Structure 1
Amino acid sequence: MTNRQICVIDDNFTKMSNVSLPPECLLKPMNFPHKVLMGPGPSNCPPRVLGASALPMLGPLHPEFTMIMDEVKAGIKYIFQTNNEWTVCVSGSGLAAMETACLNLLEPCDTALVGINGFWGERFADMVHRQGIDVKTIHRPTGEVFTLEEIEEALKKHKPTLLFLTHGESSGSTLQPLEGVGTLCHKYNCLLLVDSVAACGGVPMFMDKWEIDCLYIGAQKVLSAPPGASPISFSKRAKEKVKKRVSPIRSFNFDMNHLANYWACDGDVRRYHHTGPISCIYGIREGLAVLAEQGLEESWKKHKHCAELLYEGLEKIGLELLVKDKSIRNPCVTAVKVPDGVDWKAVIVYARKTYRVEIGAGLGALAGKVWRIGLMGYNCTPDNVRLVLRALEESLRMTRTAKL
Structure 2
Amino acid sequence: MSVTKEFVCLLNFLAIISGHRRFHSYNGRFGSSPSDTWNNDAPSRLFQPIPATYRLIQSGAPPQPYNRSREALQLPLLADGEPLANEIYIDIKEGLQYVFQTKSAWAFAAQGSATTAIQAVLDNLIEPGDRVLVGICGHWGDLMADIARRLDANVITIRKRTGRRFSFQEISSAVKRYKPKVLALVQGESTAGVFQPLDGIGDLCQREGCLFVSDSTSVVGMQAVMMDKLKIDAAMTGSQKGLGGIVGLAPIVLSDRAVERIKNRTKPPRGYQTDLIQIAQQWNATGDFQSYSVPLLYSLRESLALMAEEGMENTFERHAKATRQLHQGMEALGLRHFVDEPNDRLVGITTFHIPSGKDATKISDYMLNRHNIFISTGYGEIAGKVLRFATYAINADPTRVENLVMALKDALNSSETNIS
Structure 2 length as normaliser, TM-score?
A: 0.90
2:254 to 234, 240, 243: 234
Tell me, in whole angstroms, the C-alpha distance in 2 between the residues paired with 1:289 and 1:141.
38
1:368-383 aligned at under 5 Å gives the runs 368-383=384-399
SS of the counterpart of 1:30? coil
Q: Structure 1 CA distance, aligned partners of 2:418 and 2:129?
A: 59
What letter matches 1:96 in structure 2?
T
Shift of 1:121: 0.3
CA contact (8 A) 1:5 1:17 kept: no
Per the alignment, residue 239 of structure 2 pairs with: 219
Cross-structure match for 1:392: 408
3-state SS, counterpart of residue 250 of structure 2: strand
Flag the 1:22–1:360 CA change in 2: closer, same or farther, 3 A. same
Match of 1:18 among 37, 60, 64: 37
Residues 310-325 of structure 1 aligned to structure 2 (within 5 Å): 310-325=326-341
Q: Residue 168 in 1 paired to residue 188 in 2?
A: yes
- Trace 1:5-404 onto structure 2 (pairs within 5 A): 5-6=22-23, 18-19=37-38, 20-264=40-284, 270-399=286-415
Q: Could you tell me how far apart the structure 2 residues matched to 1:136 and 1:278 are?
A: 40
Contact 1:346 1:399 in 2 (8 A): no
Q: CA deviation at 1:347?
A: 0.3
Q: Is the 8 A contact 1:143 1:174 kept in 2?
A: yes
Unpaired runs of 5+ in structure 1? none
Deviation at 1:402, TM superposition (A): 6.2
* CA-atom RMSD in angstroms: 2.0
Identity %: 32
Q: Secondary structure at the match of 2:227?
A: coil
- Give the deviation of 1:238 after TM superposition: 0.6
Q: Note the C-alpha offset of 1:21.
A: 2.9
Q: Which structure is larger by alpha-carbon Rg, 1 or 2?
A: 2
The Cα shift of 1:156 comes to: 1.1
Per-residue deviation, 1:388: 1.0
Report deviation, 1:318. 0.6
Question: Could you list the runs of 5+ residues in structure 2 that have no partner in the other structure?
Answer: 1-18
Q: How has the CA–CA distance of structure 1 residues 399 and 162 changed in structure 2, closer, same or farther, with 3 Å as cutoff?
A: farther
CA distance in structure 2 between the partners assigned to 1:196 and 1:343 by the alignment: 32
Name the structure where strand makes up a greater proportion of residues: 1
- Stretches of 4+ moved more than 3 A in 1? 2-9, 399-404
Change (3 A) 1:5 1:146: closer
May I ask how many residue pairs the two structures share in their alignment?
A: 396
Q: Give me the TM-score of the superposition, normalised by structure 1.
A: 0.94
Q: CA deviation at 1:46?
A: 2.2
Q: Return the offset for 1:340.
A: 3.0
> Residue 60 of structure 1 aligns to which amino acid in structure 2?
D
CA shift digits 1:77-120 (9 cap, x unpaired): 11000011111101000000000111011111311100000000
